[in-house]
Amino acid sequence: MPSILDQWRRPYTAGPLTADEAEQYWSHGYVVKQGCLQMQDLQPSLEVIARRVDDLAAKLQAAGLISDPCSSLGVFQRLAALEQQFPDAGVLVHKDGRLPPEFAALWSHPTLLAIAQQLLGPHVGGHPSWNVRAKTPRAEGGDVPWHQDSAYCSPDARQTLQVTAWIPLLDVDAANGCMQLLRGGHLAGRTVAHTAASGNTWHVAMDEAAAAAELGLDLAADLVTVPMKAGDVLLFNNLIPHRSLDNTSDRIRWSLDLRWQHPDLPDGAYGLKRSIRMTDPADPSYVIPWAGWADVDKKTGQQQQQQQQGSDDDLDSTETGVAAAAAAADVEDPLSSVLVGPWLDLWPITHHNKHTRAWLAMKGSAAITNQ
């Protein structure tokens, strides 16, 4: 039976990635394309982020949740200052799933699309899961433990190659939250056991012992720390284990992660939002149909689907139904920092917090413990 690498690997074609860089992507599971973007390519995204933080500060102040909007601070300081008054401010920025035109323009940047075509072939789709991430100094909500991206997707997509571009909006290193990967962790073609939820977050965490045993990894020898300059792009696949380090600096580490895959293959997004076609080799004048697609918030879609499932089920208890409705209303609140989704059903919940409790309540489950 062909290995996952045999299924995924494509013959090298000329493009932004050199032959050696493409080979590293296939064999190691990742590659950094240095100098891939210019600061002028990143600046529009930083400006959108600044506006979103400004809008959030206004909403928090209007709701009486903060007293100082910290308007004099820049994009690399302001959200951290807001978190001193409202600790979950960063979660609210992450939770906003509307795709602004500036992020869409970066996602479809000609150099990035050319790289995606080198790795995927002429047909490229944008995966529904994209993220803007604020890793504020010493904030737990920004901590992302060891995981495989495939652990968040429905199992039907685990053989689909999904190419992630992780794009820091400033220079990153071990002090401010750069990425770490486990080199070659994709070669076994497996998604190993994970558990939910990590700390006080909605994240799943990989079982490190299972990774060592099932993926053939030495978690010390195969560990790669990836410092990068603004403009560098880290490319990796959906099976390679990775995490980000703590931010011990005095600046916010802003980053974007954007994903591509073949538009006609399973995307693992639970049918909540489909991939968007970004290239059409039969139509040289093809224009990506962002309108409508960009306005669908994948996180809201997840919540709405779960609410619909709950309304279709015959709940045994009126009290349970009321609890489910209350949890759904809390998650929908634009100032709620609760974040849930179907990935929480894929793995054992070994640690409960507000995210897992809300998810189980929305499902009408009475199996919520005080763990």
DSSP label at residue 129:
-
d(CA 170, CA 254): 7
Spatial neighbors of 312 by CB under 8 A, at least 6 apart, are none
Residue 66's pLDDT is 98
**What does the H/E/C string look like for 316-363?**
CCHHHHHHHHHHHHHHHCCCCCCCCCHHHHCCCECCCCHHHHHHHHHC
Q: Going from the N-terminus, what domains does the chain have, and what CATH number goes with each?
A: 14-296+316-369 (2.60.120.620)
Q: pTM here?
A: 0.91
What SS3 class is residue 196?
strand
178-214 per-residue burial string, b: 16 or more CB within 10 A, e: under 16: bbebbbbbbbbbbbbbbbbbbebbbbbbbeeeebeee
Strands 163-168 and 233-237, bridge-based pairing: antiparallel
In the chain (371 residues long), the average pLDDT of successive 10-residue segments reads 86 98 97 98 98 97 98 98 95 91 98 98 96 89 84 95 98 97 96 94 94 96 98 98 96 98 95 93 95 79 45 45 54 86 94 93 63 46
Residue 42's pLDDT is 98
Residue 310's pLDDT is 44
d(CA 297, CA 277): 17
Residue 364's pLDDT is 79
DSSP label at residue 98:
-
